[in-house]
Structure 1
Amino acid sequence: MKGTQSETELMRSLKPKRSRNVRKANSILSTTTTATEDYNSAVSIDSSDLEFYDVSDEELDAPNANSTNGFAINNLDNILKEIDTELDSYSVTQLEKSLQRLEDLLFDYPENTDILWRLGKAHHKISENSDDKEFVQDHISKGIEILSKALNLKEDDPDVHKWYAILVGSRSEFVSLQERIDDGHKFKKHVDAAIALSPNDPSLHYMLGRFDFEVAGLKWYERKVAATLFSEPPNATYADALLHFMQAEQLANFEFKENKLMIAKCKIATSDYKEAMEWLTQASNCKQGDGLDDKIDSEVKALLGKYNSYR
């Protein structure tokens, strides 16, 4: 969306609220694995006061994103690397610190898309750590707004498309069925754009797999709504989803636990229970501490129990 706010007003609107209710985050892509969240994205705890980051003139000597001051740009790159580490932690304190640092940086670099997409990511990850629906919706909305600005500035950045898609997919519980279906098309469009620019990102293939899995599981009335909205409503099978999940598995250089779970769920959906059990066993043997929460572990355990006779 294109906003009419001034940069100062936009920055004020992006000041984070503190979460009173926290929970562990979902997964590497922060998605759920229930078929009821149509088109939900695709593919994380303690809180404290915000730590404000003061950006000095010596660190960032450039007033805009187009500066040729090599010293300033190099320092910005180093700061963004630090922030990336904070964003990949699962501490609310670190996430809030990252959000504040990015907002401060944005005053000096208002059109820098490397800052903008990280800011959207920060809003998303903070939203995961609260059970307060208003708080979650507020952060998701701010993330989408900032990513929309980034898209207007730069259309060939895979991370901009990726995080826009993730945020759009994350608001499914706050919108109507018609809006969820419309968001599904937006989600698919931007994941496709991201994967064209970054074909070896396993998380993007996982996201496409999740999209196809949700489409394959649509109820009849949901398909009817989709058909009335679009001349070519989304169409996919569990076999289509499986292809994407297998591609993600091949590309991942880590134990992608939720991806293994989704492969198993595709196998279950097509009555291939023996292979499903093999993938569930692999998922259950993945090392802990990789950001996957108890919900994923619980689902793996439940499915292993349900289909135990197919071992």
Structure 2
Amino acid sequence: MPLPQNINAIIGAGVFGIVCAATLYVVEHYRQDRRRHAMAKDLARLNNELAVLRRELDSLLAQQKQKATKRGKRNKRESLISTSTATEDYASAFDADSSDLEFYDVSDEEIDTSTLEVDLGKLDATLDEGTAGDLDACVRQLQNLCLEFPENPQLLWRLAKAHYRLFEKTELTDHIHKGIEACTSALKLKPELANVHKWLAILLGSRTKIQPMKEKILDGHLFKEHVDAAIRLNPLDPVLHHMLGRFAYDIAELKWYERKVAAALFADPPNATYEEALDHFYEAEKLQKADWKENMLYIAKCKIKLGEVPEGLSILERMVHASDDNGVDGQVELEVKELLKKYSR
């Protein structure tokens, strides 16, 4: 009895199904092998990447440890600065720089046993006596030192001083702005450092020469704030008292319209008299304990403004023959001669 046709189809289908199943098994088995092989490769790659990451992490940890050690040493050095020479800001201005007596820097605390101390000693000499080329090299060296010791305000105020000295010699106002930036950074690090306030005041005072009247008065107000702060921290610096005398003298000299602008800017506008200026100049003279022609000039000018012309002329005549251990620039000598010529009549 012949098999139904559908049986042949069923058998054919069954055989095809078996073949397909076998084929699928082989294919699946091959896929699994490939998958296992791919996973093995992935694991190997991950192991390599983890090894690299582990090495990088170890390197970063080592660098962090090294930086922490270096920071600890730096903090220790800075601690030595503040404890070993607490009276640094009270040094005399006797050795004032001949190019700018009133702005001579009082010697500051130094690091006792480091390479930085040697660098600062050389830099200080350059700042007081160097040429424009020397000062330019000094600025670059200080900038590099600031990168190495970013939390050292001693470097920053010296950088400000270097910019001021360059401004004196080149009259490039960009040095004033850079110097103010350096002092501002130092102020954030150590606000109780007299030289930071001192050099910031000096730079602000220099900026008033290139400012419009409103900004000039604002800078004058800031100048007074920082001179007061510097004197509070270092009351024995004659240069600071001279600067305060100059401020009082300039305020007393303000014209009426300048006083109007000051009154509009401040609820309590700055006010000073020639008598007050004279007191500050006398204090500077007492602390200096040596002839200081620029300070003597302003004493004479205050005397003349107060109507004491003979006494003022006597001081001016004494200046002609007086030595000046601090040095004096040509402008002072010229003003002395002009005042003598004007009031001797």
TM-score by length of 1: 0.74
Of 94, 100, 104 in structure 2, the residue corresponding to residue 27 of structure 1 is 100
Report the residue type matching 1:279 in the other structure.
I
State the partner residue of 1:113.
153
Q: CA RMSD of the aligned region, Å?
A: 2.1
CA contact (8 A) 2:290 2:325 kept: no
Describe the SS at the equivalent of 1:234: coil
State the partner residue of 1:126.
166
Q: Could you give the per-residue CA deviations for residues 84-139 of structure 1, whole angstroms, max 9, x where no partner exists?
A: 111111522332232222122111111211110011001001101124xxxx2100
Separation in 2, partners of 1:254, 1:98: 30
Report the residue type matching 2:273 in the other structure.
T
Describe the SS at the equivalent of 2:254: coil
Is 2:179 the partner of 1:139? no
Higher helix share: 2
Of 87, 91, 96 in structure 1, the residue corresponding to residue 136 of structure 2 is 96
Superposed counterparts of 1:75-90, under 5 Å? 75-89=115-129
> Structure 1 288/95 Cα, relative in aligned 2: closer, same or farther at 3 Å?
farther
TM-score by length of 2: 0.67
Q: Could you give the per-residue CA deviations for residues 226-267 of structure 1, whole angstroms, max 9, x where no partner exists?
A: 001111000000000000000000001443110000101101
> Structure 1 253/218 Cα, relative in aligned 2: closer, same or farther at 3 Å?
same
Superposed counterparts of 1:243-262, under 5 Å? 243-262=279-298
CA contact (8 A) 2:249 2:274 kept: yes
State the partner residue of 1:270.
306
CA contact (8 A) 1:260 1:282 kept: no
Q: 1:148: Cα distance to partner?
A: 0.5
CA contact (8 A) 1:258 1:283 kept: no
Separation in 2, partners of 1:83, 1:77: 10
Describe the SS at the equivalent of 2:173: helix
Q: 1:26: Cα distance to partner?
A: 5.5
Superposed counterparts of 1:90-239, under 5 Å? 91-131=131-171, 136-239=172-275
Q: Could you give the per-residue CA deviations for residues 4-63 of structure 1, whole angstroms, max 9, x where no partner exists?
A: xxxxxxxxxxxxxxxxxxxxx853136xxxxxxxxxxxx7xxxxxxxxxxxxxxxxxxxx
Q: Which moved more, 1:249-258 or 1:236-245?
A: 249-258
Aligned residues: 243
State the partner residue of 1:294.
330
Comparing both chains, which one has the higher relative contact order based on Cα–Cα distances under 8 Å and sequence gaps of 6 or more? 1
Separation in 1, partners of 2:306, 2:199: 31
Separation in 1, partners of 2:165, 2:245: 21
Gaps of 5+ in 2: 1-97, 105-110
